Amino acid sequence: MRPLTMRRVVWTCALLSGILFAVSVMALKLGAVPISVSDLVVSLGRLAIGRTDQLPLDYRLIVFDLRLPRIVLGALVGAALSVAGAGFQALLRNPLADPYVLGVSSGSALGAVLALQFLPQIALATPLGAFVGAIATITGVYYLGRRHGQLDSTTLLLAGIISASFLSAIIMFLMTTLTSRDVRGMAFWMMGDLSTPLAPSLRWFFLVALVVGIGAIYTTSPDLNLLVTGEREAMHLGVDVTRVKLVVYVAASGLTALAVSASGAIGYVGLLVPHVMRFLFGSDYRLLIPTSALGGAIALVLADTLARTIIAPSELPVGAMTAIAGAPLFIYLLRRSMR
């Protein structure tokens, strides 16, 4: 493996940021309503000089009130899921780990179903219920996943998988017995869907929590490099294994909780993007965490643009898109790495 230099980190991240920018501009242009490149450039220019009042109402609504927030949300959720996935893969030392492996998505779905049934009058029932459900699951799995007072990878994995299937069973039970018609939309949500914009009141909380979560995992990246070789080895090399595992567990779960609350359980991004980034840029976590964040953002913005346009004016849930594209890509990577 080539030694990691600051220069390489900066250049790699600059490259990915450039791709993310290009993909976002493309996503701003594409949609059910055609908008020409020149109109988009003029609109962006007016936005840049702060003259949004001069924009035609249509563009303001479609480009800046609908597409832009959705692209930003997609990028943030993609980054959160990918970093969480990379974190769980290191924590559990399991390449199949994804953000939902420990039951966070099932817990948040249960929270959302319960909130929709019993507090339907609250506008933010879905995201708040989902977030509370996710946090409750994270706490529960944490206590189930400990052995001798500290997190044990195998116990944690088993506790998470069992919790996930238990919670899914309860969701199935509730969805066949509950009567609120809002619950019907849940199928869409469970598949993962970015069509619901984040409520403006939650935007800042979401952004700050996300930066804190990704930052927390990034600070542990030198330790993660050692942890993946084995816990005992890492401990001998001076890593505070208990603390690192706790930080990664809390931060990765928290990122997943945020992502799922905003957009449902979008699959494959958190599993696949870290693998693609490892494949492209190597497995040093100091580079893997920032590249996963940027790569996840790119992947989800691309997938959502397809989901919005492929059968326009209807929309697919973006989770269907990521699964359709993700599964074959995963197989491809697997075959390549076996050669």
* Interface residues toward other proteins, by CB under 8 A: 31-33, 58, 61-62, 65-67, 120, 123, 126, 176-177, 179, 181-182, 185, 188, 193, 195-197, 308, 312-317
Q: Which residue's CB is nearer to other proteins, number 36 or number 176?
A: 176
CB of 334 to other proteins, least distance (A): 32
CB of 188 to other proteins, least distance (A): 6
Q: Which residue's CB is nearer to other proteins, number 94 or number 195?
A: 195
CB of 261 to other proteins, least distance (A): 13
3-state SS assignment for residue 146: strand
**Tokens describing residue 207:** 């952004």
CB of 274 to other proteins, least distance (A): 29
CB of 185 to other proteins, least distance (A): 4
Q: Which residue's CB is nearer to other proteins, number 70 or number 245?
A: 70
CB of 337 to other proteins, least distance (A): 37
Give the burial string for 132-154 (b: 16+ CB within 10 Å, else e): bbbbbbbebbbebbeeeeebbbe
| Cα distances (angstroms) measured from residue 273 to each of 84, 104, 219, 279 | 11, 19, 20, 10
At 146, give phi and psi (nearest 5°).
Answer: -95, 150
Please, are residues 262 and 203 in contact by the beta-carbon 8 Å criterion?
no
* First vs last C-alpha separation in the chain: 18
Q: Which residue's CB is nearer to other proteins, number 228 or number 320?
A: 320
Cα–chain-centroid distance for residue 304? Answer: 13
CB of 35 to other proteins, least distance (A): 9
Q: Which residue's CB is nearer to other proteins, number 58 or number 240?
A: 58
For residues 8 and 242, give the distance between their C-alpha atoms in angstroms, rounded to a whole number: 31
Please, are residues 69 and 195 in contact by the beta-carbon 8 Å criterion?
no
For residue 33, give every residue at least 6 positions away whose Cβ sits within 8 Å of its Cβ, in sequence order, or none: 58, 62
Q: Which residue's CB is nearer to other proteins, number 5 or number 314?
A: 314
For residues 115 and 38, give the distance between their C-alpha atoms in angstroms, rounded to a whole number: 45
Q: Which residue's CB is nearer to other proteins, number 239 or number 262?
A: 262
For residues 1 and 284, give the distance between their C-alpha atoms in angstroms, rounded to a whole number: 9
Q: Which residue's CB is nearer to other proteins, number 124 or number 228?
A: 124
CB of 265 to other proteins, least distance (A): 16
